[in-house]
Amino acid sequence: MLEQDVDRNVFNQPVGQLVDWQPPQWPPANTLRGSYASLERLRPDDHTAPLWNQISAPQHDALWTYLPYGPFPDLASFNGWMTALEDSTNALFYVIHNLQGQPLGQFALSSIDRQHGVVELAHVLFGPALKQSTIATEAVYLVLQQIFALGFRRCFWKCNALNEASRRAAVRFGFQFEGVFRQAMVVKGRNRDTAWFGMTQTDWCLAQDAYRRWLDAANFHPDGKQKQSLRTLMTGNQI
């Protein structure tokens, strides 16, 4: 803990600073729209079939290697899983669309802890069209913007420590590496060490500017290639 974040009590013991803060409201189920992407609450009747083609048909089995569920052998079993997600009491599942309304992937706000203002960005499944895309980046921006505007103090991202793609994505999106919980889980019969990444309100105050600058149309060449990377802009803002 940084010295400026420490107070002293009457016993001269270091204690955390008093926080002038109230628990946030539960994240609403509204649609989030940006310049490249939109996020809608998961509706299995509308989203199962198109998402099956994007993330769960047999050619996409590798997407599920590090997750504690999947892949699913057929559309019916995938639909059963999607229906269970919709019924979750402590998670909000979002489907990521392009501007044409095509579902391309999903993620969720999970482990929602209003008492302490903490939430997890979890269950991240990006289909091939979302990999390293403007749509995926804006989708993450939109959901982070909402939760911190609501008053959450921290968002975290965790993944299998062997999942290099997820680890790189977390850092690119502005999450700070916080360490590894060894032997945290047994997943699909195999040991899982879990890597943790976090973003605080203070981090977000800096990161949101980097996101906005990266998403600005002026940051892209006519062929769609970026001029400055998000990571470069994050580093410039000392994220």
pLDDT in tens, 11-52: 999 999 889 999 999 999 899 999 999 999 999 999 999 999
Averaged confidence pLDDT in the chain: 94
Instruction: Give every CB contact of residue 64 below 8 A, 6+ residues apart in sequence.
Output: 56, 70, 71
**For residue 200, which of 130, 152, 145 has the smallest C-alpha distance?**
152
Kindly tell me if the per-residue pLDDT of 63 is higher than 80.
yes
- Poorest-pLDDT segment among 2-6, 124-128, 154-158, 202-206: 2-6
Sign of the CA dihedral 231, 64, 82, 47?
Answer: positive
Query: CA 45, CA 11: separation in Å to the nearest integer?
Result: 60
Q: How far is CA 107 from the centre of its chain?
A: 6
Long-range contacts of range 58-62, CB-CB < 8 Å, 24 or more positions apart?
Answer: 60/127, 60/128
Whole-model pTM: value is: 0.94
Domains and CATH numbers, the chain: 28-236 (3.40.630.30)
pLDDT tens digits along 186-238: 999 999 999 999 999 999 999 999 999 999 999 999 998 999 999 999 987 76
For residue 7, list its beta bridge partners.
15
Mean pLDDT highest for which of 9-18, 51-60, 84-93, 183-192?
183-192
Query: Rounded mean pLDDT of 49-70?
Result: 94
In the chain, the percentage of residues whose pLDDT exceeds 90 is 89
Q: Give tens-digit pLDDT for 102-123.
A: 999 999 999 999 999 999 999 9
Q: Please report which confidence band the pLDDT of residue 239 belongs to, taking 50, 70 and 90 as the band edges.
A: low
**Which pLDDT does position 1 carry in this prediction?**
44
